[in-house]
């Protein structure tokens, strides 16, 4: 099943992320893809805000993984610079640390992603307009999509 929603400004993108977060559970995996500037980090800011995280959320481009403490831990990853080379980073360990994992550029590491997850592709459709294509993998993620979309 695939879902599509359109947002017309940053606030609507953040609100969608907050709605998704409202259905959160430990070890939730959110995989984001989209071109530079499409709103992946903005989406993550919405998740963080809903988790009660007050820190400024920035893309962890050079650090690869940033950890934030909130209602549940947030593990924010940007794997763009890895070019698929994930050896020795321990990314998979985060999938079972009882937090929410958000991975920017997740399509570059598909080989290690859990079978059950939610993939969100963000397409730029105008200056502020975005089309989000949502693909849930696994019953729990399908239920979330049914609840919020």
C-alpha 133/C-alpha 129 separation (Å) is: 13
C-alpha 129/C-alpha 78 separation (Å) is: 23
Residue in this structure with the two tokens 């992320």, named with its chain if needed: 17
Residue among 38, 1, 48 nearest 121 (CA): 38
Report yes or no: 110 and 90 within 8 Å, Cβ to Cβ.
no
Mean pLDDT in the chain?
93
Give residue 82's pLDDT band: very low, low, confident or very high (50, 70, 90): confident
| Domains of the chain by start residue, with CATH | 3-148 (3.40.50.300)
Tell if the pTM clears 0.85, that is, is over it.
Answer: yes
């Amino acid at each position: 099943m695939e879902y599509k929603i359109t947002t017309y400004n940053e606030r609507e993108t953040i609100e969608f992320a907050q709605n998704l977060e409202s259905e959160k559970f430990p070890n939730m995996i959110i995989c984001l893809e989209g071109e530079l500037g499409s709103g992946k980090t903005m989406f993550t800011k919405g998740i963080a805000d809903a988790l009660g995280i007050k820190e400024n959320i920035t893309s962890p481009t050079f650090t690869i993984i940033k950890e934030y403490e909130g209602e549940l831990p947030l593990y924010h990853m940007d794997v763009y610079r890895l070019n698929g080379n994930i050896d020795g980073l321990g990314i998979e360990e985060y999938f079972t640390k009882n937090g929410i994992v958000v991975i920017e550029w997740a399509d570059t590491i598909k080989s290690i992603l859990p079978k059950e997850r939610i993939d969100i592709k963000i397409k730029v459709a105008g200056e502020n307009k975005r089309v989000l294509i949502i693909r849930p993998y696994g019953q729990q993620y399908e239920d979330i999509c049914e609840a919020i979309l």
